[in-house]
């Protein structure tokens, strides 16, 4: 098939790398929250809200922009969003005060949605029996971008003004924009005869009529919420418990390499076994991680083991849910992805906000308590709505 020939190993690798580079924009703020708070004379709770604004902006970008992938040529749409993202990063670099930075970080979130246009494009091109594997590889790029962004930001924040991190990121994104322009395959569908608002208005119906989409959305909401419960408060905890800075918070992000290496394996498990099984494993890993944070978080080894398990749990959830979502209907893959990822990052933003609030009022125990709430909701969704035993292979 022509579509399968288009999705070469080179194309899959390019999609994975670009996805990681762009999604990194969302996470630069997490390891440097202490630096931003000191520079703008803000409380930790307010800086936590700025991190939430980035993710909330991303969630609404997913809801309002990603469905355009079902309307427009995705080759051009991806590049257009990358240009807007570069502009937002430059605004964050220049921001002279907290108000302008808040606007900039919201725009960074809204415009950094190209990965969620790339992912359904990869799912659209992938043969049905290989969709989980292909999405696992692309999503490993996504997770690599997330974990390296924390390390990148934390380390650079220790040797240069934190604002310059956004300038460096804009330069890297510009380089990859040029690569995408010359190397990413053109979308053979071209522009579709669809109107924007009627397409947007179908989103609630897609959620209501597709049980697997509802299950994936709820699981993604909870699992990414749990992930952000940790990462939005880790810098505060390291400073309070160990007197360590942003560079260590960034280095701990590298522990997520376990999730990166596991992603293709998880994709194969989804294809060959069952997404219901892999979603269950994701909840188990994430739940055990927070038990370890609660009981052993005051020891560095406890943090290390817990972070590895949490990143594995997050990756099990995301690869499984993405495979479920992309197996539903190829003609509306961008819209289905929009619904799922809106829920995913809405959970992340609520996890960030609730965890920073809990840290301010109840410390590390309160943070772990917030994670338990997310886990209980995920378990309820798993048993009430559930996941398909096998993927559709259209």
Q: What is the pLDDT of residues 289-332, one digit of tens each?
A: 999 999 998 888 999 999 999 989 998 998 899 889 888 877 78
The answer to whether 101 and 175 have CB atoms below 8 angstroms apart is: no
State the pLDDT confidence band at 86, using cuts at 50, 70 and 90.
very high
Residue closest to 336 by CA, chosen among 109, 26, 62, 57:
62
The residue among 147, 145, 136 whose CA lies nearest residue 263 is 136
- Domain map of the chain by residue range? 2-184+195-384
| 116-135 per-position pLDDT tens digit | 899 888 877 777 667 677 87
User: Could you give the CA distance from residue 359 to residue 340 in angstroms, rounded to a whole number?
Assistant: 28
| Average of per-residue pLDDT values in the chain | 86
Are 245 and 239 a contacting pair, CB within 8 Å? yes
Q: Are 194 and 15 in contact (CB under 8 A)?
A: no
Task: State pTM to two decimals.
Answer: 0.76
Cα–Cα distance, 279 to 313 (Å, whole number): 9
What's the pLDDT band for 5 if we cut at 50, 70, 90? Answer: very low
Owner of token pair 């919201």: 106
Q: Measured at the alpha carbon of residue 128, what is the angle toward residues 196 and 267, in degrees to the nearest 5?
A: 100
| CA distance linking residue 7 with residue 138, whole number of Å | 12
Position 252 confidence tier, pLDDT thresholds 50, 70, 90: confident
Distance CA 351, CA 374 (A): 8
Three-class SS state of 191: coil
Q: Which CATH superfamily is domain 2-184+195-384 in?
A: MFS general substrate transporter like domains (1.20.1250.20)
- With cut-offs at 50, 70 and 90, classify the pLDDT of residue 3: very low
Neighbours of 167 (CB within 10 A): 15
What is the predicted pLDDT for the residue at 259?
72
Contact 169, 177 (CB under 8 A): no
- Asked if 265 and 159 touch (Cβ cutoff 8 Å), the reply is no
How many angstroms separate the CA atoms of 236 and 240, rounded?
Answer: 6
């Amino acid at each position: 098939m022509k579509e399968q020939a288009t999705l070469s190993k080179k194309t899959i690798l390019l999609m994975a790398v670009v996805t990681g580079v762009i999604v990194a924009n969302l996470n630069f703020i997490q390891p440097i929250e202490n630096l931003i708070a000191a520079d703008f004379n803000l409380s930790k709770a307010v800086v936590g809200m700025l991190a939430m604004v980035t993710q909330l902006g991303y969630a609404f970008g997913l809801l309002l922009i990603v469905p355009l992938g079902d309307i427009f040529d995705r080759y051009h749409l991806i590049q257009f969003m990358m240009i807007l993202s570069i502009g937002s990063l430059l605004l964050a670099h220049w921001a002279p005060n907290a108000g302008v930075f808040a606007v900039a970080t919201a725009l960074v979130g809204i415009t950094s949605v190209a990965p969620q246009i790339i992912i359904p494009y990869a799912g659209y091109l992938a043969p049905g029996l290989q969709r989980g594997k292909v999405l696992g590889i692309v999503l490993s790029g996504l997770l690599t971008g997330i974990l390296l962004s924390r390390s990148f930001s934390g380390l650079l924040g220790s040797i240069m003004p934190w604002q310059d991190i956004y300038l460096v990121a804009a330069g890297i994104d510009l380089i990859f924009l040029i690569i995408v322009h010359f190397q990413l395959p053109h979308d053979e569908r071209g522009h579709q005869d669809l109107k924007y608002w009627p397409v947007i208005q179908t989103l609630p119906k897609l959620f209501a009529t597709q049980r697997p989409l509802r299950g994936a959305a709820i699981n993604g909401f909870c699992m990414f919420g749990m992930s952000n419960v940790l990462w939005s408060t880790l810098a505060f905890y390291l400073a309070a418990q160990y007197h360590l800075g942003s560079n260590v918070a960034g280095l701990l992000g590298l522990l997520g390499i376990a999730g990166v290496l596991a992603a293709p394996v998880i994709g194969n498990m989804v294809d060959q076994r069952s997404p219901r099984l892999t979603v269950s494993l994701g909840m188990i890993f994430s739940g055990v991680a927070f038990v370890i944070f609660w009981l052993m978080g005051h020891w560095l080894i406890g943090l290390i083991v817990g972070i590895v398990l949490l990143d594995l749990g997050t990756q099990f959830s995301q690869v499984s849910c993405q495979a479920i979502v992309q197996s539903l209907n190829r003609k509306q893959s961008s819209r289905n992805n929009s619904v799922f990822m809106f829920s995913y990052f809405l959970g992340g933003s609520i996890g960030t906000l609730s965890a920073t609030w809990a840290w301010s009022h109840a410390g590390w125990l309160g943070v772990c308590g917030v994670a338990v709430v997310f886990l209980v909701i995920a378990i309820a969704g798993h048993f009430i709505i559930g996941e398909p035993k096998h993927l559709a292979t259209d």
